[in-house]
Amino acid sequence: MPRLRDLIFFVTRRCNLRCRICFYSQEIDRPPGREKELSLEEIDAVAARLGRLDSLLLSGGEPFLREDLADICARFHRRCRIASIHLPSNGLLTDRVNPVCKEILHRLPGVRLILSLSLDGTEAVHDRLRGAPGSFRAAVETARALSTLRRESPALRINIITVVSGENLHDVLPLADWVAANLDVDGHGPSPLRGLARDPALSPPTAEEWRRLAAALLPYHQRWLERSRRSRLRRALAFNRFRYLYGLYGRVLAGGTLPFPCTAGKNIAVLEPDGNVRLCELTPPVGNVRHSRFNLKAVLGGADARRGRQAARSCSCTHACFLERGIRSHPGAFLSSLMPRMEARHD
Ligand code: SF4
Ligand code: SF4
């Protein structure tokens, strides 16, 4: 089996929101059971058996609700020599996000920290989709509170992310303008709704709606890249990657297949708060590290995981982490993603 490179770890299923767009709501809404979140020592035992990782994405729930978030990062850094940590957040815990990011940057020099704050529309649209008045203002306040730290720390990157559904489709460009004019961040990345949302009335955009939106969003990506410190060549390559990824979203939304087999469970996998292991967020658990001496690789080597990997080869979705890893794992897709005008075509 290829080396595991990326781990998505849902550090908690606790959350301070109940968003209508949430694909993890079945877990979040489940009443507290006997199973406990993995403790720091258990997490350390998992990390110790993983070997080297490229990147770690700590999600939830709201990851900043874990009191030991910086310690979790430090354990993975020590055990797995990770190069980058990605923290998606709803941005509600303004007083916590800034100091925790500061602590991670201070304790883990050399690690790239990417904080992705969710804004799903301009104020009224965002608050409606997130089901909480004031959630837009809180996320914006968090982004603003991080400005100084971002300027002082080149290793910190702050992104705004937007889940696009039929409900906010027409608010994405006004939001993109608002973010560019009002926030001191590094980029804004809309992507289509995935999985089963808490509110079943929400659905992803159609392929045609996405194609039109993507065409309008690409110039924004160009401008974000122009603001970055990257060389001209790296900016051009990054832009081509965005365009390729957006083409893949359109292809999947049109009912097409990915131009490469999904690598879920091979070089990217998911660990849940109670120790369950999944090949990806949308497939069922294939085992639990608590029943496998905290050896996540042993779980991925089991029969259920092998069957799941076989099924994943012909599966398609719009999850950016898995698409990015798939692109990097398949030389043909990787080359296409770097080329100008090599958009993934609809079937
Ligand atoms: S989408 Fe994120 S912030 Fe919203 S309920 Fe789900 S986990 Fe919590
Ligand atoms: S394409 Fe891969 S990541 Fe997406 S749902 Fe299927 S197995 Fe999971």
Domain regions of the chain by residue span: 6-203+264-316, 206-260+330-347
Q: 279: burial class by Cβ within 10 Å (0-12, 13-18, 19+)?
A: buried
Name the band, by pLDDT with cuts 50, 70 and 90, for residue 209.
very high
pLDDT score recorded for residue 317: 95
Question: Which two tokens mark 224?
Answer: 């974000």
Range list of H helices, the chain? 25-29, 40-48, 69-80, 94-107, 123-130, 135-145, 147-152, 172-182, 207-227, 232-253, 296-300, 303-312, 320-329, 331-338
- Residues 165-173 have a mean pLDDT of 98
| Residue 172 reports pLDDT greater than 60 | yes
Predicted local confidence at residue 46, as pLDDT? 98
Q: Let me know: does 29 contact 291? Beta carbons within 8 Å.
A: no
Kindly tell me the burial class for residue 250, based on how many C-beta atoms sit within 10 Å of its own C-beta (0-12, 13-18, 19 or more): buried
* Average pLDDT score over residue span 114-142: 98
Give the rounded percent of residues in the chain with a pLDDT score beyond 90. 93
Ligand 1 pocket member 24 (CB < 6 A): yes
Distance CA 249, CA 320 (A): 9
Please give the distance, rounded to the nearest whole angstrom, from the Cα atom of residue 296 to the centre of ligand 1: 25
User: Ligand 1, atom 4: nearest CA belongs to which residue?
Assistant: 19
Measure 62 CA to ligand 1 centroid, in angstroms. 7
The residue contributing the CA closest to ligand 2 atom 4 is 317
**Distant-in-sequence, close-in-space partners of 319: CB < 8 Å, separation ≥ 6:** 194, 280, 281, 282
Alpha-carbon distance of 267 to 326, in angstroms, equals 9
What would the DSSP string read from start to end of 114-179?
A: EEEEE--SSHHHHHHHHT-TTHHHHHHHHHHHTHHHHHH-TTEEEEEEEEE-TTTGGGHHHHHHHH
Please list the residues that pair with 162 across neighbouring strands: 190
For the entire predicted model, the pTM comes to 0.95
135 lines ligand 1 (CB under 6 A): no
Band of the pLDDT at 257, cuts 50, 70, 90? very high
> From the CA of 13, which ligand is nearest?
1
Task: Tell me the CATH class for 6-203+264-316.
Answer: alpha beta
Q: Decide: 316 in ligand 2 pocket, CB within 6 A.
A: yes
User: What's the rounded mean pLDDT across residues 92-112?
Assistant: 97
Atom of ligand 2 nearest to the CA of 317: 4
The pLDDT value given to residue 33: 76
Residue 105's alpha-carbon distances to 74, 99, 111, 297, 342, in angstroms, are: 10, 10, 7, 28, 37
Q: CB–CB of 28/289 below 8 Å?
A: no
More confident of the two residues 165 and 230 = 165
Q: Would the CB of 193 count as within 6 Å of ligand 1? A: no
- Which atom of ligand 1 is closest in space to residue 90's alpha carbon? 3
Report pLDDT for 6. Answer: 97
* Residue-wise pLDDT tens digits, 176-186: 999 999 999 99
> What single letter denotes the amino acid at residue 189?
G
317 lines ligand 2 (CB under 6 A): yes
| Most informative mutation of 7, 262, 286 for ligand 2 (most atoms within 8 A of CB) | 262
Q: What is the mean pLDDT of the chain?
A: 95
Say what the pLDDT of residue 31 is.
Answer: 81
